[in-house]
A and B are shown apart, each in its own frame.
Chain A
């Protein structure tokens, strides 16, 4: 196996309930992997294992070919972008400050931060005049784009996305998808995208990982999984294409 992200026999429990059960997974570099499953299937936990927000009870998680550096997780996480549903934008910081926060912490010069912020906002089709606004002054779609810009600021090699595009109307979502793919074309990264929206996964993901009750059900190229679902359950999950 030569994945940039490698999970080996990972098990995670909360209290008595098993969230992830003996799960092994390899994610190749530069891929966009869609993690599909219902709510409670363990897909968010899977994502948080990769950046060390969650530590496994057993099994190993290797990223960049090594176990997570437990004594220096902060620096490690700056190589791994993270964007979530609800965006998690900091309400007290203006848009430019939200996007450029990591640059400031990395002691970039203000000019470099400005330039990088402008570049990302252009790529994600955000008008420059939004820079000085606060998050609450933006629409949901605009906030999601800002969340992506912030996650991409330091040009991370891995980008973890936890349903970052949910909650906006289909047209806006499709526009954001297009912009996001353009951004990735300009700045390639390995993307792990957790979603419950199969249409989104089909549009964005090259690989699919199907999770059910903490277990891995099927992995493979998106087209292949769509064509040959391993179980009836998978067929039901990937068969739904409501907003496509």
Chain B
């Protein structure tokens, strides 16, 4: 039985040991339409000049993308001057370009020439709402305390977002947080009345929303530019510099609308733009093969969960064996593992960034920490609940401690342990979809992109395979249990 166990663990390990990426320019993006479009424009421009590009799109938030850049996980992504000043550098004052460059230089970063448009924050309402309350400016909201504000999480928390807006305009309404990709839907369905938007958002056109004028000039300017590290190859910098001032507000909004309204892919929209601007001479036929990306995403997903699970098994079981004989130590271990479990997964992933950067490593660490509790708890419970008579007999028959473990304790604990690993596996597969927010890829990637585009079929391209994968994990562990554990000791038997 032990040999089979060892074999199973080895297989799991081999399955997990998948590929690494070759050296390229890694272009990143945050997870909203404009971010993807700009990233795709930069990527295709570089590719047209013969520079290989790795696309690392969909980072879940400014700090994630920023940390990815600093850590060298990505080489460039599109950022906004206002965001750099306020969120990243923590400066309340609006910085001019010289101050910005100096501040970035201290972090070994560099802002390339701005792309032209100013995508500042805005508040949007539906046209019926605007008509009903005669809304034109943000000041008009003041008297309407019944309006429900559904705001994106980042906007709610930024000093230059909701808190400041509220005090400058004297708004008394409360706000609830909502994923930006879902906000317009909620607006149209009447679940919320006001949301935040970006002034170049193609959805504004799509849903015929009314943008309220910032009549007190509260929002700082958000000029988009490629943000990169100083040590980036100067040839690459020069190529990206060609994009300077090529996009005004209107053309950016049109590009965004092409994607969200006309359902063109980021790649198609970007290619059309580059061609129209004469930056490329021929369209690089952007091939988006759904099946290939599905297979890739699934493999990455398996890698993330596989490595995390394997590490959690080894650590969890060793830990359980080390502490189960001491009631106090067992308690401490279970408390700590339980505590880790209570951290919301998205928060744990975010907490990983300062420690382990972004990408697959922090995702694996976070998944590992999550998998630990079910494995350790089940293993310790299984070990301490072994019939005391069997322990006494095993000792009295002259089995050494190791022999007792191998021939009695581990086989008897196995059904519980397997059940724990099974729970950990299924939970990991689900949680790993969130890892796309920190750039780890996997099946969460189409989900994150789909959320940004409000594209259900894209979301399902991640959600369905993830669900199937979880189901497969269930079946695999069921088969494993049947193979390793005598039927009368299986967990099904234990439950009944």
Select from chain B the residue with minimum beta-carbon distance to A151: B397
Tell me, yes or no, whether B142 is within 8 Å of chain A by CB.
no
- Contacting B398 at CB < 8 Å: which of A74, A86, A93? A74
Among A88, A92, A101, A102, the most chain B Cβ lie within 10 Å of the Cβ of A92
User: How far does the alpha carbon of A178 sit from the alpha carbon of B489 in the complex, in Å?
Assistant: 34
Are B408 and A136 in contact, CB atoms less than 8 angstroms apart? no
Task: Render A164-182 as a binary contact track against B, CB cut-off 8 A, 1 for contact.
Answer: 0000000000000000000
Residues of B within 8 A of A75 (CB): 398
Residues of B within 8 A of A77 (CB): 395-398
Task: Render A149-167 as a binary contact track against B, CB cut-off 8 A, 1 for contact.
Answer: 0110000000010000000
Among A48, A88, A101, A151, the most chain B Cβ lie within 10 Å of the Cβ of A88
Are B489 and A92 in contact, CB atoms less than 8 angstroms apart? yes
Residues of B within 8 A of A90 (CB): 390, 394, 407-408, 412
Are A134 and B488 in contact, CB atoms less than 8 angstroms apart? yes
Interface residues of A in 196-215 (CB under 8 A from B): none
Select from chain A the residue with minimum beta-carbon distance to B415: A92
Tell me, yes or no, whether B399 is within 8 Å of chain A by CB.
yes
User: How far does the alpha carbon of A41 sit from the alpha carbon of B54 in the complex, in Å?
Assistant: 79
Among A53, A73, A74, A77, the most chain B Cβ lie within 10 Å of the Cβ of A74
Select from chain A the residue with minimum beta-carbon distance to B1: A92
- Contacting A92 at CB < 8 Å: which of B392, B393, B486? B486
- Contacting B392 at CB < 8 Å: which of A84, A101, A102, A105? A84
Residues of A within 8 A of B400 (CB): 74
User: How far does the alpha carbon of A91 sit from the alpha carbon of B392 in the complex, in Å?
Assistant: 15
Are A92 and B403 in contact, CB atoms less than 8 angstroms apart? no
Given contacts A84-B392, A84-B393, A91-B412, contact A74 B488 (CB under 8 A): no
Select from chain B the residue with minimum beta-carbon distance to A147: B393
Task: Render B79-98 as a binary contact track against A, CB cut-off 8 A, 1 for contact.
Answer: 00000000000000000000
Are A92 and B389 in contact, CB atoms less than 8 angstroms apart? no
Task: Render B405-430 as a binary contact track against A, CB cut-off 8 A, 1 for contact.
Answer: 00110011000000000000000000
Residues of A within 8 A of B394 (CB): 90
Closest-CB distance, A162 to chain B (whole angstroms): 9
Closest-CB distance, A193 to chain B (whole angstroms): 15
Select from chain B the residue with minimum beta-carbon distance to A88: B393
User: How far does the alpha carbon of A76 sit from the alpha carbon of B397 in the complex, in Å?
Assistant: 10
Select from chain A the residue with minimum beta-carbon distance to B396: A82
Are A84 and B398 in contact, CB atoms less than 8 angstroms apart? no
Are A92 and B397 in contact, CB atoms less than 8 angstroms apart? no
Among B390, B393, B394, B485, the most chain A Cβ lie within 10 Å of the Cβ of B393
Closest-CB distance, A170 to chain B (whole angstroms): 24
Select from chain B the residue with minimum beta-carbon distance to A104: B407
Select from chain A the residue with minimum beta-carbon distance to B486: A92
Interface residues of B in 362-408 (CB under 8 A from A): 387, 389-390, 392-400, 403, 407-408
Tell me, yes or no, whether A78 is within 8 Å of chain B by CB.
yes
Interface residues of A in 77-110 (CB under 8 A from B): 77-78, 80, 82, 84, 86, 88, 90-93, 101-102, 105
User: How far does the alpha carbon of A73 sit from the alpha carbon of B403 in the complex, in Å?
Assistant: 13
Given contacts A74-B399, A92-B411, contact A82 B486 (CB under 8 A): no
- Contacting A78 at CB < 8 Å: which of B389, B398, B485? B398
Given contacts A53-B392, A84-B392, A88-B390, contact A150 B488 (CB under 8 A): no
Tell me, yes or no, whether A33 is within 8 Å of chain B by CB.
no
Among A73, A105, A160, the most chain B Cβ lie within 10 Å of the Cβ of A105
Are A136 and B403 in contact, CB atoms less than 8 angstroms apart? no
Are B412 and A51 in contact, CB atoms less than 8 angstroms apart? no
User: How far does the alpha carbon of A213 sit from the alpha carbon of B408 in the complex, in Å?
Assistant: 35
Residues of A within 8 A of B408 (CB): 90
Closest-CB distance, A212 to chain B (whole angstroms): 24
Closest-CB distance, B403 to chain A (whole angstroms): 6
Are B399 and A86 in contact, CB atoms less than 8 angstroms apart? no
User: How far does the alpha carbon of A133 sit from the alpha carbon of B390 in the complex, in Å?
Assistant: 19
Are A88 and B399 in contact, CB atoms less than 8 angstroms apart? no
Among A53, A73, A91, A160, the most chain B Cβ lie within 10 Å of the Cβ of A91
Are B389 and A53 in contact, CB atoms less than 8 angstroms apart? no
- Contacting A84 at CB < 8 Å: which of B389, B407, B485? B389
User: How far does the alpha carbon of A53 sit from the alpha carbon of B389 in the complex, in Å?
Assistant: 12
Closest-CB distance, B493 to chain A (whole angstroms): 10
27 contacts between A and B (CB under 8 A): A51-B396, A53-B392, A73-B398, A74-B400, A74-B403, A76-B398, A77-B397, A77-B398, A82-B396, A84-B393, A88-B387, A88-B390, A88-B392, A88-B393, A91-B412, A92-B1, A92-B412, A92-B486, A92-B489, A101-B397, A101-B407, A102-B397, A105-B403, A105-B407, A134-B488, A136-B488, A160-B396
18 other contacts beyond A74-B400, A136-B488, with CB at 8 A cut-off?
A48-B396, A53-B392, A53-B396, A73-B398, A74-B398, A77-B396, A80-B398, A82-B396, A84-B392, A88-B392, A88-B393, A90-B412, A91-B489, A92-B486, A101-B397, A102-B398, A105-B398, A105-B407
Q: Which chain A residues have a beta carbon within 8 Å of chain B's beta carbons? A: 48, 51, 53, 73-78, 80, 82, 84, 86, 88, 90-93, 101-102, 105, 134, 136, 150-151, 160
